[in-house]
Structure 1
């Protein structure tokens, strides 16, 4: 008996012809063939290069409280604690949902980055918190430089609109996990508010006035229904321009979620805000009750604001009644704000001075029935 070293034997430096030795040589070649991480579908160099090319844009979001440099294992942020008497950190996490499918179909990827930030910072805002920093998670099967550049550029723009710092994130390349050209996004945000100024809705009472701040469109909810109705059932092209919409359908559907941070924080510094609701999944019927005391309901006057035509289009083509629409979509109102009736005009003026479109859409009433939302 004897042993042959498949890695050292000079006899195997050249391919032998036939026989057992030849078969062993071929086996060795298969066993010792170099397969890199890049060969397996993960291009670390590309990810590093893309993020590096965006470093200046990302740094442009940094507030003075950011400590250290980019590229570490974790990010540091030191709030200006002296500004607060009893500071409370507030956190939120959210994604963009199936609106991403439209980004894949159109090749427009920057607007969903804004959506990602908006869905998180607007949730923090409901409590009266100022967003401090943001982190993102981008996962895909194979990195495409132009796609991730557009997505991160959108996230940067969203952070600028919200006044928060993009201080970290994760770019995950997972071969065979996602369909070609597709990706997923998640965002994480931390904000701060003085405990005495936190808004929780407990002071809301019958007689209070409800303001509605206009949305920019569908925002980031209801897109599974939208795709089913408009693209699969009606088979509309995303390039089609409908008279009521005035621009291509794809552009209308991808309009980014409005970020209300600066206008609403200004409002909160000027008058006492009793409660707020970010109108996302669940629409009016699902979101407004989240900030109401159990003894209260709201009466909403549906004709008190202009409903964008895209909602009428969806309702018509899906044959939905009003209740279904108000349960699924924001219907043109992205943020609901509850104030004392004596502060309503001042609140509306403050928001309008920041470029918001505002309507007095209803009032708080004593709850007498099962539903906390009465649509009139």
Structure 2
């Protein structure tokens, strides 16, 4: 008996690392010390900070991976993995510096996992952070054949005086929404339940989605907001707070960006109604309340800005080819959110 007979091929793992080396090194940015293959990734903090604060975030992709496995498409979920981490770190005003990944599988499939790492590298490039290292674990008997799981970890940096923690948000601030590219990486268990119970397959092409299959629609990667939002701050726009709209939707994530004694009044009429979410609600017979408590409903990121800067903020993001629109304002309260539609 040897390790290969037990289901773990060490040589295959070494060959995989060699295969992805260029993908990883292609994400390197100033500050990276050394290359891949060591016991730890090394990064030198940028100069010029008076009181640098490191901000960390970790996340996964969730059951979106079940769709990737079902249709054998693995080039987008790596972007999701990065996005879920860097968008969280961004809410503190931090610039992502580096990213680490963890990939666990029953049997290492180089072609499959190279697609995954390609997506991770693309996500890191979009966020401007280095893919500093990672871990690939081959665990026979733990995962079904052809399946894998992902986890990611990101570290960013922000000047302490520029860090956002909710205390800067003021009564009267306007909530500016940046659109999502779909469901992102949340609510996929409900999506899968709807697809399965209504008799659809992942290669179904509902007319409403303009010829795209359901797999293509729901594997659309999460939008990464890092570069345009950081550029907005550097351009002098005042941003008092940010929220990444993930699991729990607007009701759960908007209050996380507020200071004590504050609440949010949404302008119901200004909320988007993307066809994707209308279709899910109709096909799955899901109530508006459950939809808004599960999905981002077309809003992936929210900025809180002074009322006087509403137009300039919207105009700035529009000039960067990113839609932006006001959806409400901060009012006195205790973290509640009002204005959520009770029907479609």
**TM class, shorter-length:** over 0.9
Post-superposition, which runs of at least 4 consecutive aligned residues in structure 1 deviate over 4 A?
none
Query: Over aligned residues, Cα RMSD in angstroms?
Result: 1.3
The answer to whether residue 137 in structure 2 is matched with residue 172 in structure 1 is yes
1:281 to 247, 269, 280: 247
Structure 2: gaps of 5 or more residues = none
How big is each residue's C-alpha offset from its partner over 1:3-60, in whole Å with a ceiling of 9 and x where there is no partner?
Answer: xxxxxxxxxxxxxxxxxxxxxxxxxxxxxxxx12111111111121122122112101
Instruction: Say whether the 8 Å CA contact 1:131–1:162 is kept in structure 2.
Output: yes
The answer to whether residue 59 in structure 2 is matched with residue 91 in structure 1 is no
2:8 to 7, 19, 42: 42
Q: After the TM superposition, which residues 294-313 of structure 1 pair with which residues of structure 2 at under 5 Å, given as runs? A: 294-313=260-279
The answer to whether residue 66 in structure 2 is matched with residue 105 in structure 1 is no
Distance across 2 between alignment mates of 1:372 and 1:250 = 33
Q: After the TM superposition, which residues 57-136 of structure 1 pair with which residues of structure 2 at under 5 Å, given as runs? A: 57-80=23-46, 82-136=47-101
Distance across 2 between alignment mates of 1:130 and 1:197 = 11
The number of residues matched between the two structures is 339
Distance across 1 between alignment mates of 2:90 and 2:316 = 16
Q: After the TM superposition, which residues 1-376 of structure 1 pair with which residues of structure 2 at under 5 Å, given as runs? A: 35-80=1-46, 82-230=47-195, 232-246=196-210, 247-269=212-234, 270-367=236-333, 371-375=336-340
Instruction: Say whether the 8 Å CA contact 1:296–1:372 is kept in structure 2.
Output: no
Query: Higher mean Cα deviation, 88-97 or 359-368?
Result: 359-368
How big is each residue's C-alpha offset from its partner over 1:210-264, in whole Å with a ceiling of 9 and x where there is no partner?
Answer: 100000000000011110112x210211111111111111100000000000000
How big is each residue's C-alpha offset from its partner over 1:279-300, in whole Å with a ceiling of 9 and x where there is no partner?
Answer: 0001000100111123111111
Distance across 1 between alignment mates of 2:338 and 2:72 = 39
Displacement after TM superposition at 1:303 (Å): 3.0
How big is each residue's C-alpha offset from its partner over 1:59-80, in whole Å with a ceiling of 9 and x where there is no partner?
Answer: 0100121001221111110011
Distance across 1 between alignment mates of 2:295 and 2:152 = 22
Structure 1: gaps of 5 or more residues = 1-34
Provide TM-score, normalisation by structure 1: 0.88
Instruction: Say whether the 8 Å CA contact 1:140–1:174 is kept in structure 2.
Output: yes
Q: What SS class does the counterpart of residue 240 from structure 2 fall into?
A: strand
